[in-house]
Amino acid sequence: MDHILFELFVIFAVAKVVGEVFERLRQPPVIGELLVGIALGPHAVGIIGDSEVHHVLQELGAVVLLFMVGLDTRLPEVRAVGTRALVVGSAGIVLPFLLGAGYIGATGHSGEESAFIGAAMVATSVGITARVLADLGVVGEVESRIILGAAVVDDVLGLLVLAVVSGLSGGDLSPVGIAVLAVEAIGFVVVLGLLGVHAVNAAASTIEAARIQRGPLAVALAVCLGLAALADTVGLAAIIGAFLAGMAFAEVRPRWDLEDQVEPVYQLLVPFFFVITGAQVDLGALVEPDTLGLVAAVTGLAVVGKFLGCGAAALGMPRRSAAIIGVGMVPRGEVGIIVASVGLAEGVIGPDLYGVVVAMSILTTLGAPPVLKVLFSGRGGEPRPRRGRRTSDVEGTGG
């Protein structure tokens, strides 16, 4: 027990210090946190271990992150970009899958292997991009809303691709099973996305009238955990549920002071997501000479596939906006790694291809944030209001 407390202390304290250093260097703090994880993880220094406790804290960090991003995302604004997000998300599925599966097939691997690598290249890690958008203070920008909406679409479609690929390669999913999964996943997102806000609005005055001490925060956190668990149950990422929960509370957010109240929980838990995600990275595996070429090719195709696919779907918008959307969809983060683990566990891909997918996920994750920062330069710039407030609180009262 003492060791895990010590680990939590190290993860939190080092993440905060390094994150602050990156902030001063005008780099996204999330990169600093990922690097802390890589350096202290089991594949390097070994201070941070790898157990169920780590996975749960990682998941909780991601859930709180996406809940907070959801709080900043109002349904009418999502609706306004809904069609565009659908097109961008779909394009970001098709092109990476074709490029990835085609290349792996062309280099002499089996059809099953090709399909799995294609499926892994479909994934989008909205967590990484969302954090960068939040750090830059641009969650409300139209490109950000398209990216977040498209990432949700990606997760739903990516789930279905994985189910089909898994089914083809001897998993136990029948066509009926895949159809049920599709209905569940799409139904979950559509029903909660459209009705969540109305349900919360309808219940809000009852909750307020009940005069429950700290009731609003408790209700919001309970719904967040509940929808995250429900999303997981229907096969979606838990963070999709947390994001939809946040969106449902976006309208009552100012009245309930929710953003200020969730902020300390965010400060405590979110670093665990990024540091522990980083800790799962084995840098040594990246530089094996045998796979270096394959890593470079797959990573290149992963970037090109999302950038061209999503960027093309955003044509008609200003060129820089299309570029932002293309780059914002690039990070595969933990999602690509999860897909690869499924393939490894089912025996469809071997450790070498697994390592390639992990490397591709890491490289796309580390590469996108600095580019996004440059593309957004001159815009946003104002970090989220509560951060400014906290800073000025201290400035006003200290010194």
Q: Which of residues 27-86 bind a copy of itself (CB under 8 A)?
A: 51-53, 55-56, 59-60, 63
Closer residue to a copy of itself (CB): 231 or 323: 231
Q: Which two tokens stand for residue 19?
A: 């994150």
| By the rule CB under 8 A, 297 interacts with a copy of itself | no
Q: Which of residues 222-241 bind a copy of itself (CB under 8 A)?
A: 222, 225-226, 228-229, 232-233, 238
| By the rule CB under 8 A, 382 interacts with a copy of itself | no
Cβ(168)–Cβ(115) below 8 Å:
yes
Q: Which helix (H) or strand (E) holds 24?
A: helix 2-24
Cβ(137)–Cβ(383) below 8 Å:
yes
> If DSSP codes are grouped into helix, strand and coil, which group holds residue 315?
strand
Number of residues that make up the chain: 399
Q: Which two tokens stand for residue 2?
A: 């003492």
Region binding a copy of itself by CB under 8 A among candidate stretches 42-50, 168-176, 206-214, 318-326: 206-214
| By the rule CB under 8 A, 208 interacts with a copy of itself | yes
Cβ(357)–Cβ(117) below 8 Å:
yes
Binding residue for a copy of itself, selected from 45, 318, 320, 393, defined by CB under 8 A: 393
CB of 15 to a copy of itself, least distance (A): 9
Total of chain residues touching a copy of itself, rule CB under 8 A: 61
Residue entry with tokens 């999860």 = 338
Closer residue to a copy of itself (CB): 150 or 262: 262
What gap in Å lies between CA 150 and CA 153, rounded to an integer? 5
Closer residue to a copy of itself (CB): 246 or 305: 246
Region binding a copy of itself by CB under 8 A among candidate stretches 15-23, 30-38, 150-158, 288-296: 15-23
Q: Which two tokens stand for residue 167?
A: 């089914």
Region binding a copy of itself by CB under 8 A among candidate stretches 79-87, 155-163, 164-172, 210-218: 210-218
User: Which residues are within 8 A (CB) of 330 and not within 5 positions of it... i.e. 6 or more apart?
Assistant: 302, 303, 306, 307, 364, 367, 368
> Residue 315 pairs with which residues in a beta bridge?
317
Closer residue to a copy of itself (CB): 75 or 223: 223
What gap in Å lies between CA 341 and CA 104, rounded to an integer? 18
Closer residue to a copy of itself (CB): 6 or 170: 6
Nearest alpha-carbon partner for 241 in 223, 228, 222: 228
Q: x/- site string to a copy of itself, residues 247 to 286, per CB under 8 A?
A: --------xxx---xxxxx-xx------------------
Closer residue to a copy of itself (CB): 172 or 290: 172
Rounded to 10 deg, the angle between the 258-279 and 385-397 helix axes is 100
What gap in Å lies between CA 339 and CA 122, rounded to an integer? 10
CB of 77 to a copy of itself, least distance (A): 23
Q: Which of residues 104-163 bind a copy of itself (CB under 8 A)?
A: none
Region binding a copy of itself by CB under 8 A among candidate stretches 7-15, 86-94, 181-189, 310-318: 7-15
What gap in Å lies between CA 97 and CA 80, rounded to an integer? 28
Cβ(358)–Cβ(333) below 8 Å:
no
Q: Which residues bind a copy of itself (CB under 8 A)?
A: 1-2, 4-6, 8-9, 12-13, 16, 20, 23, 51-53, 55-56, 59-60, 63, 204-205, 208-209, 211-218, 221-222, 225-226, 228-229, 232-233, 238, 255-257, 261-265, 267-268, 383, 387, 390-391, 393-395, 397-399
